[in-house]
């Protein structure tokens, strides 16, 4: 019922409707210390290349991008991730990169550990097996730090040592002030 004096609009009904699709992706999500270190590199790269820095709480590495997904398929996605049994590892991010086609400045790894490729391979194989459309392009592990950036000479970056013991499923929502991410669930890697 509307409050006294307010017109009967129907807008006071309880709760907004739950969405029937979510924009989803699997990712590596940094611990606090790694996030701080990535953020310092973001500031350093921004001094050289300009553009828009990613908010500190959004930095990540995408492992598999699903895009808009019906919520009924969440159970199937969880089963895919449950099937991944690869080892924990350390990723050393020591190499800045710039992609001209999308004006993104990023931090990546001069050497990708085999465990990282095994994780991406196992996850994408499980997703593909369950009928999800996954990216066929070779995976380049990278943390996007700058958008709409000019790029330029590649500066030396202090290596960021990222201990990776789990991966996450994330829902992405785009608001006028940029992307907002919500970690929905987390899976441990083998120690
Ligand atoms: P916005 O699109 O609002 O600028 P965003 O790119 O950060 O923000 P999403 O588009 O939801 O947010 O993407 C989430 C993550 O998935 C990002 O790391 C993005 O680079 C990656 N991603 C997006 N689209 C694809 C795609 N088609 N293939 C692979 N990765 C993708
Ligand atoms: Mg995007």
The residue whose C-alpha atom lies closest to atom 17 belonging to ligand 1 is 62
Structure tokens at 77: 């996605």
SS3 sequence of the chain: CCCCCCCCCCCCCCCCCCCCEEEEEEEECCCHHHHHHHHHHHHHHHHHHCCEECCHHHCCEEEEEEEEEEHHHHHHHHHHHHCCCCECEEEEECEEEEECCCCEEEEECCCCCHHHHHHHHHHHHHHHHCCCCCCCCCCCCEEEEEECCCCCCCCCCCCEEEEECEEEEEEEEEECCEEEEEEEEEEECEC
The finding on whether 25 has its CB within 6 A of some atom of ligand 1 is: yes
For the chain, domains (ranges, CATH) are 24-188 (3.90.1140.10)
105, 175, 178, 179: residue to mutate for ligand 1 pocket, most atoms within 8 A of CB = 179
Please report which confidence band the pLDDT of residue 65 belongs to, taking 50, 70 and 90 as the band edges: very high
Nearest to 62 by CA among 164, 148, 169: 169
The residue whose C-alpha atom lies closest to atom 13 belonging to ligand 1 is 172
How far is ligand 2, taken at its centre, from the CA of residue 191, in Å? 32
What pLDDT is stored for residue 16 in this prediction? Answer: 64
Q: What pTM was estimated for this model as a whole?
A: 0.90
- Atom of ligand 1 at shortest range from CA of 174: 3
Which pLDDT tens digit goes with each residue over 138-178?
889 999 999 999 999 999 999 999 999 999 999 999 888 87
Which numbered ligand comes closest to the C-alpha of 65?
1
């Amino acid at each position: 019922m509307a409050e006294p004096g307010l017109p009967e609009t129907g807008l006071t009904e309880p709760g907004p409707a739950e969405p029937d699709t979510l924009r989803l992706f699997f990712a590596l999500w940094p611990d606090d210390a790694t996030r701080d270190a990535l953020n310092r590199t973001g500031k350093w790269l921004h001094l050289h290349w300009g553009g828009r820095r990613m908010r500190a709480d959004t930095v990540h590495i995408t492992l598999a991008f699903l895009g808009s997904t019906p919520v009924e398929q969440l159970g199937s996605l969880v089963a895919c991730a449950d099937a991944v049994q690869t080892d924990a590892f350390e990723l050393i991010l020591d190499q800045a990169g710039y992609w001209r086609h999308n004006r993104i400045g990023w931090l990546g790894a001069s050497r990708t550990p085999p465990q990282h490729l095994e994780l991406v391979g196992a996850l994408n194989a499980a997703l593909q097996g369950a009928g999800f459309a996954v990216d066929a392009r070779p995976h380049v592990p990278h943390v996007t730090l700058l958008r709409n950036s000019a790029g330029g000479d590649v500066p030396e970056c202090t290596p960021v040592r990222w201990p990776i013991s789990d991966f996450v499923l994330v829902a992405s929502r785009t608001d006028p002030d940029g992307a907002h991410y919500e970690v929905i669930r987390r899976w441990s890697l083998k120690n």
